Structure 1
Amino acid sequence: MRLLFWVAVLFGGAVGLALFTQFNQSNVVLFYPPYRVEMSLNLTLALLLLAFFIVWTVLSTFRHLSEMPKRAAAYRERSRMSKAQAAMRESIENLFAGRFARAERAAHEAQAWPEQAQTAALVGARAAHRMQESERRDAWMAQVTDPEREQARLVSMAELLVDARDAEGALATIAQLQEKGGRQIHVQRIALRAHQHLKNWSEVLRLARSLEKRNALHPVLALRLKQMAVEAMLEERRHDAEALFHFWRSLTADERHAVRIAELGARYFSSLDKQNEARRIVEEALKVNWDSRLVQRYADCAEPGKALPQIQQAEKWLVDHPTDADLYYTLGVLCLGEQLWGKAQSNFERTLKYADRDAQRRICIRAHLALARLFEETDRAEDAQRHYREGAMLAA
């Protein structure tokens, strides 16, 4: 549409000019004594137009010639920039491809353009780090001095240091970053790894909780990290009942119901003669996660002569788990502690009935040994010997 407009304007102008020259009979007379020049107006206008184009051409040529050095310098700068950008792309591609030596060489070439020299230094530092050249890595990082790239330098340095297992250096770098207001999720992940290396389990637990809430950790990994931290912190407090109780109450419900954590907490409370707390831990956890380790730990939570409430609870569980060999064994142990010989015998025998002899060999051996001790207590030596033999054969 625009082209048609300009074509119409051109043709219109041509028609107008033709009509003007055809009907224009004017003359122009120039007096320059003693000379007198007379010419038509059309010729005068044509000469003026020609003179204008000659002057414009001369001035334009002069301007282009005077600007040629600048244009040549700009061309060289564009060429250098283009080559530097190509080298930068090559450096990044080689870094991701695992060709670290090539990536470092390309990063050197990419620094030919000053605007990306410090960005190229960050890439070069990562390449040198992957080749375990810590001195060259630090030299690359020292080139990053622009305040606008300070955050990128600190985050990269913290990540590289924690990867090199310099956890203290990584945390010192993160501290500098946080002074400047850096609170990114990625920085928290780096700090989590650093605290894990240093076994700062309270910080590991705090960071794992924070990252899990923000969906920044896979749930399985978050659970494993929290389990490791809680297990270590329980181990530190295993001899102090008050500290152990206070820490246990600080855990979230999901953490207290995790099988490994609940089993360990119940074990430590039992060792401190806090049987009621241990029993409560196991019962709450079993409501959420039914697991054989917790079921077997339940028997250790009984106080001598006061296990009847636990026996009743275990019998309630049998309604939902009528073929659970671990539950029958636990119930047998509880009955044995209360000297309920008949109930203990029947539960141990059901343990052997429902247990898988290949997958649950250990529980079968323990059931045979428990029956053997029961028969010894009730003066049935032959039955006791038989169960000792069967237990020994399974153990062999």
Structure 2
Amino acid sequence: MRLLFWVAVLFAGAVGLALFTQFNHSNVVLFYPPYRVEMSLNLTLALLLLLFFVVWTILTTFRHLSEMPRRAAAYRERSRMSKAQAALRESIENLFAGRFARAERAARDAQAWPEQAQTAALVGARAAHRMQESERRDAWMAQVTDPERAQARLVSMAELLVDARDAEGALETIAQLQSQGGRQIHVQRIALRAHQHLKNWTEVLRLARSLEKRNALHPVLALRLKQLAVEAMLDERRHDAEGLYHFWRSLSPDERHAVRIAEPAARYFSALGRQNEARRIVEEALRVNWDSRLVQRYAECAERGKALPQIQQAEKWLTEHPVDADLYYTLGVLCLGEQLWGKAQSNFERALKYADPESQRRLRVRTHLALARLFEETERPEDAQRHYRESAMLAA
């Protein structure tokens, strides 16, 4: 449509010019003594138009010639910038592809353009780090001096230091970053790894909880880290009953119900003579997570002569888990402690009946030993010897 419009304009102009020249009979006379030049007006206008185009062409040519050095310099600059950008792209691609030596060489070429020299230095530092060249890595990082890139430098350096197992250096770098107001989730992940290397379990637990709330850690990984931290902190307080109790109450219900946390906590409370607390820990955890380790630990939470409530609780559990060998063994141990010989024997025998010969070999060994002790207490040495032999054969 636009082409048709301009064609119409061109034709209209041509028609108008033809009509103007056809009906224009004027003359132009130029006097330059002793000469006199007489021309038609149409020819005069044509010559003036021609002169205009000649002058315009000369001036344009002169201007282009005078600008050639500047244009050549701009072309060289664009060419250098284009090559530097291509080198930076190549460096990043090689870094992701695991070709670290190529990535470092390309990063060096990418520094030909000053605007991206420090960005290329960050890529080069990562490539050198992957090749375990710490001196070259630090030399690359030293080139990043722009205040606008300080955060990128500090975060990258902290991550690389953690990866090199320099946890203290990583935490110092993170402290510099946080002093400038940096509180990113990624920085917290780096700090979590650093504190884990240094076994700062209090910080590991705090950071794992914080990242879990923000959905920045996979739930399984968050649970595992919290378990490691709580296990270590429980072990630190295993000789301090009050400290252990207060720390246990500070945990969330989900943490207290985790098997790997509840089981050692019950063990430590039992060792400190806090059987009632240990029993509550196991019972609460078993309501949420039924596990053989907690079931067996339940027997150690009993006080001699006061195990009747636990026996009743274990019998209630049997209605829900009627073929659980670990539960039968635990119930047998509780009855044995209360000298309920017949009931203990029947529970031990059921534990042997339901225990898997392959996966529960240790449980069968312990059950045979418990039966042997029971028969010794009831003065049945032949039966006791038979179970000792069975346990020895299974243990071998």
Indicate the TM-score class for this superposition, using the shorter chain for normalisation: over 0.9
- 1:220 maps to what in 2? 220
- 1:368 maps to what in 2? 368
- 1:159 maps to what in 2? 159
The separation in 2 between residues aligned to 1:54 and 1:390, in whole angstroms, is: 119
How far residue 28 of structure 1 moved from its aligned partner, in angstroms, is: 1.9
The 3-state SS of whatever aligns with 1:31 is strand
The separation in 1 between residues aligned to 2:243 and 2:31, in whole angstroms, is: 118
1:169 matches 2:188: no
- 2:250 maps to what in 1? 250
**Equivalent position amino acid for 2:196 in 1:** Q
363-372 or 293-302: bigger deviation: 363-372
The separation in 2 between residues aligned to 1:31 and 1:181, in whole angstroms, is: 86
1:351 matches 2:357: no
- 1:302 maps to what in 2? 302
The 3-state SS of whatever aligns with 1:216 is coil
The separation in 1 between residues aligned to 2:73 and 2:160, in whole angstroms, is: 40
1:275 matches 2:275: yes
Within 5 Å, which residues of 2 pair with 1:257-336?
257-336=257-336
How far residue 383 of structure 1 moved from its aligned partner, in angstroms, is: 1.4
**Equivalent position amino acid for 2:130 in 1:** R
Within 5 Å, which residues of 2 pair with 1:1-396?
1-396=1-396
How far residue 30 of structure 1 moved from its aligned partner, in angstroms, is: 2.5
How far residue 395 of structure 1 moved from its aligned partner, in angstroms, is: 1.3
**Equivalent position amino acid for 1:241 in 2:** A
The 3-state SS of whatever aligns with 1:122 is helix
The separation in 2 between residues aligned to 1:19 and 1:145, in whole angstroms, is: 73
**Equivalent position amino acid for 1:231 in 2:** E
Provide, for residues 8-66 of structure 1, a one-character-per-residue CA deviation record: whole Å limited to 9, x for no partner: 22222112111211222222223334433221111111111111101110110111011
How far residue 215 of structure 1 moved from its aligned partner, in angstroms, is: 1.6
The 3-state SS of whatever aligns with 1:39 is strand
**Equivalent position amino acid for 1:272 in 2:** L
Provide, for residues 156-192 of structure 1, a one-character-per-residue CA deviation record: whole Å limited to 9, x for no partner: 1001111111111101111111111111111111111
How far residue 394 of structure 1 moved from its aligned partner, in angstroms, is: 1.3
The separation in 2 between residues aligned to 1:18 and 1:148, in whole angstroms, is: 67
Provide, for residues 122-163 of structure 1, a one-character-per-residue CA deviation record: whole Å limited to 9, x for no partner: 111111111111111111101001111111101110011111
The separation in 2 between residues aligned to 1:13 and 1:175, in whole angstroms, is: 77
The separation in 1 between residues aligned to 2:9 and 2:148, in whole angstroms, is: 54
**Equivalent position amino acid for 1:265 in 2:** A
The separation in 2 between residues aligned to 1:69 and 1:80, in whole angstroms, is: 16
Provide, for residues 313-356 of structure 1, a one-character-per-residue CA deviation record: whole Å limited to 9, x for no partner: 10010011000000000001011111111111110010011111
The separation in 2 between residues aligned to 1:316 and 1:127, in whole angstroms, is: 62
Provide, for residues 248-297 of structure 1, a one-character-per-residue CA deviation record: whole Å limited to 9, x for no partner: 11111111111110001100111111111111110111011100000000
Cα RMSD over matched residues? 1.1
How far residue 98 of structure 1 moved from its aligned partner, in angstroms, is: 1.5
**Equivalent position amino acid for 2:299 in 1:** A
The separation in 1 between residues aligned to 2:395 and 2:265, in whole angstroms, is: 30
The separation in 2 between residues aligned to 1:186 and 1:22, in whole angstroms, is: 83
- What number of residue pairs does the alignment pair up? 396
The 3-state SS of whatever aligns with 2:5 is helix
The separation in 1 between residues aligned to 2:71 and 2:102, in whole angstroms, is: 34
The separation in 1 between residues aligned to 2:394 and 2:126, in whole angstroms, is: 57
The separation in 2 between residues aligned to 1:92 and 1:274, in whole angstroms, is: 60
289-298 or 130-139: bigger deviation: 130-139
The separation in 1 between residues aligned to 2:4 and 2:285, in whole angstroms, is: 83
The separation in 2 between residues aligned to 1:300 and 1:165, in whole angstroms, is: 41
The separation in 2 between residues aligned to 1:92 and 1:290, in whole angstroms, is: 50
Gaps of 5+ in 1: none
**What is the TM-score with the length of structure 1 in the denominator?**
0.98
250-259 or 96-105: bigger deviation: 96-105
The 3-state SS of whatever aligns with 1:30 is strand
The 3-state SS of whatever aligns with 1:28 is strand
Provide, for residues 211-251 of structure 1, a one-character-per-residue CA deviation record: whole Å limited to 9, x for no partner: 11222112221111111111010011111111111111111
The separation in 1 between residues aligned to 2:306 and 2:15, in whole angstroms, is: 120
